[in-house]
Structure 1
Amino acid sequence: MSHPISKDALELFRHCKKGNIEEVRVLVEQRDVDVNIRDIWDSTPLYYACLCGHLPVVEYLIGVGARCEANTFDGERCLYGALTDDIRRTLTQHNLVTTHTIRRDAYDEFLRRLFESGEYSDITFVVQGEAVPLHRCLLTARSEYFRDMLQKRWHSRDKVIINKDMVTPDAFRAVMKYMYTGRFECPVELVECCIRIGVNCKLPNFRLMLEDAERKAQVLQMGKQGLVKVTTVVVEPDESCSPGVGSWVGGSEGVGSDLRDLAQATLPPHLRFWPTEMPFCPTQDHAPFADVCFVIDGHPFLCHKMFFCTRSEYFRALLRDHFHETQWQDSSSLPTITLHDVSPQVFAVLVHYLYCNQTIVSLENAIEVMVAADMWLVSGLKRQCGVYLGSRLHTDNVISILRLARLFQLPRLEDQCVTCMAKNLDQVVETQEFRDLVLDDADEVRGRQETDSVPIIDDLRFHISSAVQTVSGIMEARTKLSVIEAVLEDLGIEA
């Protein structure tokens, strides 16, 4: 029996066929449904949106990472099946711009908006009269040149004037945006200027990266015999270096790697995951340019507001409104905030997530981290804990994790739990935990005075029967359904 498709995934397919863009957004952004999921006919949501002629849905799915690259099965199938010329044109233009689609997640958006908004900036560069607000801590983490200048020559400045003719505002912004996001984009005519700026800023491999991009652009133009003119050079971040659950970004050139080092420097020395030498000022044993101090069980964490306030509404309100937890010391010291009901170890996990989107969790701390993430309104960290727990499911813990998934509203984890239970039904139904779960669900339905079936029973029936395709599969499904009926009869429940 093949892996069943979740209810949310079926809903995504249905709304893509009907063109319900708002429902599609909810399923992708709030219910975490994979935009590249396939149904039993090996079709994707994007294919159905193209086939049914819903351009807004097509544009949205492409924007969040639906695969439609040229010369691939998915790309050619979508192009061939598209109902309208507008959709074909959208697909073609997408493939001309790039053959590499990266889903823009919350962390990508955080970095981009941090640069573009200039919020919480503490230094401004004025390039030929145009102001570019930036953040000292990020510049220090990303560039040896800025690290040296900000700690010495520019230490007491809040504004730096650059009037060199060879440094244009647009080129400077392009390089700075690369430092923030790992993504480079600029007009072809500014590439040489950007290379000079990058070399001066001592950005690792920057020259080689842009020269390689230029060479590829020239090859593309020559291959198209004048039919294509490249006007913009774009270099996307390397997906293989994306941070994730329980992993570290490789390569000093990566944004995640550099911000990981910055996150390490915010922690008290004895709590650092790796007690390595920090790549900052040798006389410092803490993060450079920290502007807030969190104290947990007497342990100080010297941090940066921009990460906490822009990635958590809880901390934004805490720092903005000066809650009673905040204690201001003299003007020469950092604002100090004492947090309760959390361990220093869990707060260290939060710091790493906020700074570099990495989650270092284990079975021992995952639940504690999830509780804290829920309290601090850091939904991404909560979901990543759910991803970790979903990878550790077995018959002994599946019901307890299912209860957690419901409590913390993690639909993908809940679906994984039900799938695991359906697959191992013979073992699960023998446990008292399963019977207690069925009884609790039945009591909840009765308490609402509803006539709905018991939720866990309804979900199990769906997972058992939804992917049946063969005669043997039908027989297996019937056997499992009869086991469920026997349990219900034994418990005296009609569902």
Structure 2
Amino acid sequence: MSELARISDKSFNELCYACRVGDVENADKLISLGVPLNGVDMFDNSPLFLASLCGHENVVKLLLERGAVCDRDRHEGARCIYGALTDKIRNILLRHDLSRAFDLNQPFAKHISSLYIDDNDKSANTNLLFKDAGLSFGSVLTHSPPENQKHEHSHRYKLTKVNKFILVASSSYFSEKFKDAKNEIYFEIYPDLILREVDFLEATELFVKFLYLIPVLHLFEKRHLNILCIFAEKMKFPILKEYIEKLSFIVDPNFKHNLIVEYQKKITEDYRRNFLNFVENNIIKKCLTVDQDSFKDPSFASKIIAQVRNNSCAYPDIILSVKNTETKKITLYPAHRAMLSRSEYFKTMFTLPFCENNCYLFDNDYMLLSLSDPTVVDLPTEDIETAHAILKYLYYDNTDIPWEIAMRVLVTADFLLLDRLKTMAAVSITSHGNEFLKIYSLFDILYIAWEVRMERLEHFVAKTIADNLEKYQDLPSFHQAIENSAKRISKREDSDTIELIDDIMYYLLRKHDLTHEDLELLDFKDDLEFMQESGLYSYQKDVAIIEKVLSKLKLHSCIQTVDFNFPLSYNIH
């Protein structure tokens, strides 16, 4: 019996299925939604074991990156390793570093961590001041420490620039502390202990890295624990405090590793929940909608921008706008460059010397002097629900895209260069294909797939056609799609195949449970009983339909054929 807990849950079963068939995109989506990785299904199979056994290297890598445990000294880990279909997967599992921190490759945690690492991040607009004399902890918002203390900085202070909104989003403690602050805030705590300066500085650095979700739990040493526990308690990080208390009693390295994996996941998920609440309460619910014509008046616009900026505890440094040409309304959201920069589109906008980058003024020591009125930037959508989906993805990696808006999210994500969100939107479409096709034409999906370069949707269209070929064979829209696919080849030759036809032919093989090699059995075409039992007869009928359509479109010369006009050498994707 597996040492992992058995999970009877629909979402977990969907994850196991995705791992078994190699659907890395759907697995990514389910993991992002919080489906547990380290469990087993009713047959005692874990997601990692299924991916390993079935030979899906990309899924194995994804699971390991997201925290799947593969301990070769335990039954489940050994089972994954020795059950691997290929030597390459086996070597990946063997090389997996058990001591590596869990969330290093989580998309949400990775971006938050990158904000700490990026020395050029101008959105770090608050200073955290750690003071070892009396162990005071403070924050100075718009200027450096008092003049009479500056000369002591290198000996007495640990000063770190941080993003104010990250502090507020991560803990109610900071939210309360900053609530009434105008230009400056300073606060202190006094523990009853004396620390060496080096221990204090190391502990404060670990804590600030923790605030940015940098994996540091494995770096905690006993000499750090007292001060870290004080920070965790005073600043309301109960999960961190709980981890420190448990760590104090653990000696066994394996138990420590398991504790790190468990609590790094808990910490990340707690952060995501806090960011979810932050976005809902301080961004989405605090938006303002006004007439576009009125907003063109600079005086009115300045007043509205100030209202959006001051109407919540979001402390925005950018205003995001959604314009609706039909209603002539504009909706304004308080937002943050640090999170919008997950999009390469916005990152480029904020990096290059555009007007959108003029927000912060610093002195020569890179201390924040002032913050100008936030710039208004447009989100390339007119749909409010799509805007909310984009915000939720950027802020806390929400990948649960309602299928009703998935097409609009797909197009907007493509404009914003958010490839992963594009994939998640495509997963939503293909997971709700029947409902989706009641609203959208199958060929609308195909053309969008070509426009945004989404191969998953191209294959969805091809499979749907292959499975329902008699329904689509005479439709003008199907014929037009084939011609459009043919035109996508910049310079056609007689030997060229058509991508849409290639994909349909691949799914016809799957429809009839055949492989490319099985087509060699067509030599037995005179044996009708064999042809019917093997599926080759029904496959022959479907291919005849494709040949007929191509002949009608005068594109039949693009198909390589064998005896009785059956294609043999298709480029299978």
TM-score past 0.5 threshold: yes
User: Does 1:302 find its partner at 2:334?
Assistant: yes
1:409 to 453, 456, 464: 453
| Structure 1 position 438 matched with structure 2 position 466 | no
Give the paired residue count: 425
CA apart distance, 1:390:
1.8
Matched with 2:213 is 181
Instruction: Map 1:8-407; keep pairs closer than 5 Å.
Output: 42-45=54-57, 63=65, 68-70=70-72, 71=74, 75-76=78-79, 78-79=81-82, 91=93, 94=96, 96-97=98-99, 104-117=105-118, 119=121, 120-127=123-130, 128=132, 129-152=157-180, 156=184, 165=194, 168-181=200-213, 185=217, 186-189=219-222, 190-212=224-246, 217-218=250-251, 220=252, 234-236=260-262, 254-264=270-280, 265-267=282-284, 269=286, 285-297=311-323, 298-308=330-340, 310-321=341-352, 323=354, 333-339=372-378, 342-343=381-382, 345=384, 346-359=386-399, 361-394=401-434, 397-407=441-451
CA contact (8 A) 1:464 1:477 kept: yes
Which one has more relative contact order, counting CA pairs under 8 Å at least 6 apart? 1
- In percent, how many aligned pairs have the same letter? 18
Taking the aligned partners of 1:454 and 1:444, their CA distance within structure 2 comes to 9
Q: Give the match for residue 247 of structure 1.
A: none
Instruction: For residue 168 of structure 1, give the secondary structure of its aligned residue in structure 2.
Output: helix
Give structure 1 stretches of 5+ with no counterpart. Answer: 10-33, 48-57, 222-227, 243-252, 273-282
1:7 and 1:91 mapped to 2: Cα distance?
17
Aligned partner of 1:468 in structure 2 is 514
The one-letter code of the counterpart of 1:254 is: D
Once the two structures are TM-superposed, the CA of residue 179 in structure 1 deviates from its matched residue by 3.5
Amino acid at match of 2:245: E
Unmatched 5+ stretches in structure 2: 1-16, 25-46, 133-156, 290-308, 324-329, 362-369, 519-532, 560-573
Q: Structure 1 residues 211 and 416, CA, compared in 2 at 3 Å: closer, same or farther?
A: farther
Aligned equivalents of 1:103, 1:356: Cα separation in 2:
15
CA distance in 2, matches of 1:359, 1:81: 30
Deviation at 1:456, TM superposition (A): 0.9
Q: CA deviation at 1:258?
A: 1.4
2:500 and 2:84 mapped to 1: Cα distance? Answer: 39
**SS at 1:121 equivalent:** coil
Structure 1 partner of 2:14: none
TM-fit CA distance, 1:388:
1.5
Q: CA deviation at 1:457?
A: 0.9
Cα RMSD of the aligned pairs, angstroms, is: 4.7
Could you tell which deviates more after superposition, 118-127 or 70-79? 70-79
Match of 1:483 among 545, 552, 558: 545
Residue 473 of structure 1 deviates from its aligned partner by 4.7
Structure-2 separation of matches of 1:476 and 1:241: 55
String of CA shifts for 1:446-488, please: whole Å, max 9, x gaps: 7544631111111121233265379545555444333323332
The CA deviation at 1:238 is 7.4
Conserved 8 A contact 1:390-1:417: no
Distance in 2, Cα, partners of 1:344 & 1:458 = 36
Q: 1-side partners of 2:273 and 2:246: how far apart?
A: 23
Report the 3-state secondary structure (helix = DSSP H, G, I; strand = E; otherwise coil) of the residue aligned with 1:293.
Answer: strand
Q: Spell out, residue by residue over 1:137-182, the C-alpha distance to the aligned partner (whole angstroms, 9 max, x if none).
A: 111111122223334579515x989997557233333334334338
| 8 Å Cα contact 1:406-1:414 kept in structure 2 | yes
The structure-2 alpha-carbon separation of the partners of 1:144 and 1:326, relative to structure 1 and needing over 3 Å to count, comes to closer
Deviation digits for residues 286-309 of structure 1 (CA, Å, limit 9, x no counterpart): 24321122343433222111112x
Question: Higher mean Cα deviation, 460-469 or 382-391?
Answer: 460-469
CA contact (8 A) 1:6 1:463 kept: no
Please report how far the alpha carbon of residue 363 of structure 1 lies from its aligned counterpart in structure 2 after TM superposition: 4.6
Aligned residue in 2 for 1:493: 555
C-alpha change, 1:371 and 1:123, in structure 2 (3 Å) is same
Residue pair 1:329, 1:335 contacting (<8 A) in 2 also? no
Q: Which residue of 2 aligns with 1:224?
A: none
Instruction: Tell me whether 406-415 or 416-425 shows the greater mean CA deviation.
Output: 416-425
Cα 1:230–1:340 shift into 2, 3 Å: closer
Name the aligned partner's letter for residue 319 of structure 1. F
Please say if residues 318 and 375 of structure 2, whose CA atoms lie closer than 8 Å, have aligned partners that are also in contact: yes
Q: 1:487 to 1:80 in 2, by over 3 A?
A: closer
Equivalent position SS for 1:337: strand
> What's the counterpart of residue 276 of structure 1?
none
Q: In the TM superposition, what is the alpha-carbon distance from 1:352 to its structure 2 partner?
A: 2.0
Contact 2:379 2:387 survives alignment (8 Å): no
Rounded to whole Å, the distance in 1 between the matches of 2:400 and 2:22 is 30
Q: Which protein has the larger Cα radius of gyration, Structure 1 or Structure 2?
A: 2
TM-score for the superposition, normalised by structure 1: 0.69
- For residues 468 and 400 of structure 1, the distance between their equivalents in structure 2, rounded to whole angstroms, comes to 29
Whether the 8 Å CA contact 1:111–1:180 is kept in 2: the answer is: yes
Do the aligned partners of 1:293 and 1:337 also contact (CA within 8 Å) in 2? yes
The separation in 2 between residues aligned to 1:36 and 1:476, in whole angstroms, is 36
Q: Determine helix, strand or coil for the equivalent of 1:465.
A: helix
Taking a change above 3 Å as real, the CA distance of residues 140 and 65 of structure 1, as seen in their structure-2 partners, is closer
Cα pair 1:142 1:258 within 8 Å, conserved: yes
SS at match of 1:311: coil
Letter in 1 for 2:235: C
3-state SS of the aligned residue for 1:289?
Answer: coil
